Amino acid sequence: MKINHSIITILAVSTLVLTGCASVDMASKEQSDQAKQFSAPSAGKSGLYVYRNSFVGKAQKKDIWVDGKCLGESAADVFFYTQVEGGKKHKIETESEFSPNALEVAMEAGKNYFVRQFIKLGAFVSGADLELIPEEQGKADVAKLEMAKPGTCSQ
């Protein structure tokens, strides 16, 4: 029986993309637990949680930027927490297949916001996108994850 090498290659790559695991530097357990208290941010600030909990693309690490500054490089089952100026619109971007994908969110001071990064299979490599998540769902999702150290991006 003749085996099509293209099919074998596609299956092998798909398996790696779907089941591999990427790792990033993690914050301490204390920092992670503190962030998962979901306390109100400092006066005049908004809290921003950016997280990734999808099964697809576990082998992928993708940069995340907030207002053009590196928040960090995400991996499967991690979150970032930062505070940004309240009462204004902020641009959250993620590295993707061809160019960054962005989400702009108007943030009120004193509130926490939750943005989920998800991986989508692309033509050549996996891409990433972002979506704003309702607060209660975001809290439930983040509670199951661990916090990554901020500040390191690949680009």
Q: Is the pLDDT of residue 79 over 80?
A: yes
Apex 64 CA angle, 28 and 11, nearest 5: 95
Q: Looking at the domain assignment, is residue 154 inside a domain?
A: no
> Is pTM, for the whole model, over 0.85?
no
Write out pLDDT tens, residues 93-118. Answer: 998 777 789 999 999 999 999 999 99
pLDDT band per the 50, 70, 90 thresholds, residue 12: very low
More confident residue, 53 or 21: 53
Structural domain boundaries enclosing 139? 5-147
Residue 56, both tokens: 């697809």
How does the average pLDDT of the chain come out, rounded? 87
The single-letter code of the amino acid at 52 is R
Task: Give the pLDDT score at 4.
Answer: 60
Cα of 28 vs its chain's centroid, Å = 18
Rounded to 10 degrees, the C-alpha dihedral 65/70/71/72 comes to: 110
Asked if residue 152 belongs to a domain, the reply is no
Q: Is the per-residue pLDDT at 20 higher than 70?
A: no
The pLDDT score that the predictor gives to residue 94 is: 94
As for how many domains the chain has, the answer is 1
> Going edge to edge, which strands form the sheet with 101-107?
69-74, 62-66, 88-94, 101-107
Residue 144 near residue 138, CB atoms below 8 Å:
no
Residue 155 lies in a domain: no
CA distance 111 to 45: 8
Q: Is a pLDDT exceeding 80 seen at residue 122? A: no
Q: Is residue 56 part of a domain?
A: yes
Judge whether 112 lies within some domain.
yes
Residue 153 lies in a domain: no
Q: Is residue 105 part of a domain?
A: yes
Dihedral (C-alpha) 127, 131, 94, 15: value to the nearest 10 degrees?
A: -30
Number of H helices, E strands in the chain: 3, 9
